[in-house]
Structure 1
């Protein structure tokens, strides 16, 4: 038996107190040993650095939020070492460039990305800020709303704007300075939320929250631009209740895409054609709970773990590496208001 540790970011609107951890038994596929490791407000997304510092979104109150930094090098209890709080709503996503020791904070409510230098002691120092602009046709698109920023395979940054239906490609200098180099305009009302790249870095898969659509994009590493190849719905055609596309992950072999549906409460499994890189639906499986946001694959990708925010349960599936299909293993493991799923 080998145990794999998972960190769970959560909302703290109800029973949750902050960041939790649990262990996945990768022989049985069962979770065990849930534990609170840091108490703070709505740490919805997290990042654990290779040096053992844990970075978490912190909602201090309704009009003040930011980032909390913890020393988590002992892998047990997280010890707070820094808080960076500003006026306004808390951020939506955090990511890191380990090679250049840069940290990125994406704020949905402010439409901004901030870059920070990561100091030797794990603390952060602000370097630069990029602000998006524009709006879309839906009520949720009243202004720019950046939802996700992360490194591209060629070490640029990609950031998606739900409010303006845009995907930005930015150069980032060693000093953490942003330079916008390309803008992809998604379909009107698409509502981009998260994006992931193929292992070879030549294709990207973009999920739309507001539209419940998945787009396949060709990525041009010479200029950072994207070209649309395909768009497909993430939910069945006969589903007419509310749904929001949420998270997206790719298998390491580049053969499968996984997306989550909040409302339909499911994971959709997609096979990637290795010639065209377009996708076809393999399976849609219930998350056995309500409002699944994030999910993740374990180290050898034999299991997929999903969090259900509104029903406080974590669901585990065994994954078939050949077909990509998921089989339910566990559905009643309690972590309150789970959002982010990060294997340590």
Structure 2
């Protein structure tokens, strides 16, 4: 059996855009790395349901925005539309396929943008500029880092690393945002990404700067979040630089995984009966700067991409206790910062 994985990347050195690689589950190997869409710095990517369309963040000269591609019979993707109206390339992209809306997060400019794809191309429908700052040296201005729907599709959740805020917006059919709630994390947390538990109520928020995961409760009535508790992403023995990166949760809701850049590890947590997290293990990723990782579609493996050492690492996942075992490292994957399937 095999799974196809899709890799977003920077294009500062060797990478030319979006690549794919095949996970051979029988041999426990990643094989057949190849370019499928040429585009400048597609650092985050998403697809429609049948993968006939690929949407990427893209960089254009000093600015950037989004680019849409159409899949060809040979599996390659050809550009069909783009919008480069942003001050700099954004860092996250999400799709509302039903309403043909795209959402991007701008780290550098501190805003969230909404686009609508029409027969005439990709049009900007709204852009909301965040304001504020916080206590860390990297929080002098807003830095929007994530924007995606709640599981019930009622609200768009937006993480702002610079203001320590998680914003809840409603989205109109025309692509207009209205803020309805705002959660403020502990000063210096730096909210980067979040995942929802399958129960639809519990949220795990990754703090890039504090290197902690906050456990929150989501209120579907008003889109608000309420603090429950937090847990460190690092062992006490690690005192050097670190920043949190990606966070994932297993489909059964029993285990949460997060990546450390600096410590260069995956931390594995068990989800307890009250939905708090307890430490299972720290696993070295065998590379530098594991900015993103993902569970395979069958969740039997974990694949890690490294921004600075240009390699992918493959782990076998124990689905009973959540632990990871290294099965392959040093797989060629230049500048990989996003892994999708």
TM-score by length of 1: 0.95
Question: 2: CA distance between counterparts of 1:175 and 1:73?
Answer: 30
Cα distance, 1:185 vs structure 2: 0.4
Question: Which residue of structure 2 aligns with residue 29 of structure 1?
Answer: 28
Cα distance, 1:125 vs structure 2: 2.3
CA-to-partner distance for each residue in 1:67-126, whole Å, 9 max, x for gaps?
Answer: 1211125362111111211352110100012233321111111111111223369x4222
CA-to-partner distance for each residue in 1:220-266, whole Å, 9 max, x for gaps?
Answer: 11111111111111011111111110000010001110000011000
Q: Residue 125 of structure 1: SS of its match in structure 2?
A: strand
Question: Which residue of structure 1 aligns with residue 150 of structure 2?
Answer: 152
Cα distance, 1:269 vs structure 2: 0.5
Question: 1: CA distance between counterparts of 2:218 and 2:83?
Answer: 34
Cα distance, 1:39 vs structure 2: 2.1
Cα distance, 1:131 vs structure 2: 1.8
Aligned pairs for 1:1-344 within 5 A: 2-51=1-50, 52-61=52-61, 63-74=62-73, 76-86=75-85, 88-119=87-118, 123-155=121-153, 156-274=155-273, 276-343=274-341
Contact persistence 2:72–2:78 (CA under 8 A): no
Q: Residue 89 of structure 1: SS of its match in structure 2?
A: coil
Bigger CA drift: 123-132 or 41-50?
123-132
Question: 2: CA distance between counterparts of 1:320 and 1:119?
Answer: 44
Q: Which runs of 5+ in 1 are unaligned?
A: none
Cα distance, 1:40 vs structure 2: 2.1
Contact persistence 1:166–1:185 (CA under 8 A): yes
TM-score by length of 2: 0.96
Contact persistence 1:256–1:272 (CA under 8 A): yes
Contact persistence 1:70–1:82 (CA under 8 A): yes
Structure 1 segments of 4+ aligned residues over 6 angstroms from their partners? none
Question: 2: CA distance between counterparts of 1:149 and 1:75?
Answer: 32
Question: 2: CA distance between counterparts of 1:342 and 1:107?
Answer: 20
Q: Residue 291 of structure 2: SS of its match in structure 1?
A: strand
Question: 2: CA distance between counterparts of 1:103 and 1:334?
Answer: 31
CA-to-partner distance for each residue in 1:3-22, whole Å, 9 max, x for gaps?
Answer: 21111111112222211111
Question: 2: CA distance between counterparts of 1:75 and 1:219?
Answer: 43
Cα distance, 1:28 vs structure 2: 2.4
Q: Residue 292 of structure 1: SS of its match in structure 2?
A: coil
Question: 1: CA distance between counterparts of 2:188 and 2:37?
Answer: 37
Cα distance, 1:53 vs structure 2: 1.0
Q: Residue 82 of structure 2: SS of its match in structure 1?
A: strand
Aligned length: 339
The verdict on how the C-alpha distance between 1:173 and 1:212 changes in structure 2, with shifts beyond 3 A counting, is: same
The verdict on how the C-alpha distance between 1:75 and 1:224 changes in structure 2, with shifts beyond 3 A counting, is: farther
Q: Which runs of 5+ in 2 are unaligned?
A: none
